[in-house]
């Protein structure tokens, strides 16, 4: 679950009778990042747009090891929710021409899966990360968290967009809101998560 100083409600699950999922319909992002987020409430709602193969970033594909966050770790210190210091690893696999299958060993070291797709606003890459567990029904109604992804070489820095961004009425509305405040630190969560690309020799 979210580890907030001031708790806020997670996205509401939408169970549908008879629908198979990889897990029960839960907030998948809660599990992936729930042990890491320490304060505030991330945005959860409509995405920045529809999945677009033209926005796909192939450099994200692979395994990324969490090496630090701005709230609790010193640079280079390894964070792990797993026993025996097993590193926290986030994996991106190409799910289809426009989307990723995003996996991470979260709290208790159990691997969780969700869906994400990229959107670019200017030169800045954002990930629309599905809040719910994967479903075989691709038309299922769902909500998304927005994560800014700054990629430089073998370093990936992630920051969640906060609910301070506002309440958009459409993807176009949301894009405008994000674009106007692209470098406004108040619309991002305080935590900054740093990942290093995992080399084959580190596995």
Mean pLDDT of 149-177: 93
Choose the weakest-confidence range: 71-75, 115-119, 154-158, 198-202: 71-75
Q: What is the pLDDT of residue 73?
A: 44
Q: What is the pLDDT of residue 62?
A: 95
pLDDT digits (tens, 9 = 90+) for 48-102: 999 999 999 999 999 998 886 554 444 444 444 455 556 778 899 999 999 999 8
d(CA 41, CA 29): 13
At the top level of CATH, which class does the domain 28-202 belong to? Answer: mainly beta
Mean pLDDT of 43-49: 91
Instruction: Quote the mean pLDDT of the chain.
Output: 73
Judge contact between 153 and 56, C-beta under 8 A: no
Strands (E), the chain: 62-69, 89-96, 99-105, 111-121, 124-130, 144-152, 155-160, 193-197
């Amino acid at each position: 679950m979210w580890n907030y100083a001031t708790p806020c409600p997670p996205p509401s699950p939408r169970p549908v009778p008879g629908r198979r999922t990889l897990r029960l319909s839960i907030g998948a992002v809660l599990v992936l990042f729930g042990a890491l987020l320490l304060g505030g409430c991330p945005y959860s709602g409509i995405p920045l747009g529809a999945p677009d193969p033209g926005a796909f970033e192939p450099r994200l594909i692979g395994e990324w090891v969490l090496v630090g966050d701005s709230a609790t770790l010193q640079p280079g210190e390894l964070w792990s929710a797993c026993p025996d210091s097993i590193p926290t690893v986030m994996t991106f696999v190409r799910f289809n021409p426009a989307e990723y299958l995003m996996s991470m060993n979260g709290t208790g070291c159990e691997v969780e899966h969700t869906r994400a797709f990229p959107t670019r606003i200017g030169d800045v890459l954002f990930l629309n990360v599905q809040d719910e567990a994967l479903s075989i029904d691709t038309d299922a109604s769902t909500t998304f968290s927005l994560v800014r992804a700054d990629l430089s070489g073998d370093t990936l820095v992630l920051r969640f967009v906060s609910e301070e961004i506002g309440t958009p009425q459409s993807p176009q509305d949301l894009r405008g809101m994000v674009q106007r405040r692209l470098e406004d630190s108040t619309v991002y969560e305080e935590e900054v998560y740093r990942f290093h690309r995992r080399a084959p020799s580190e596995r």
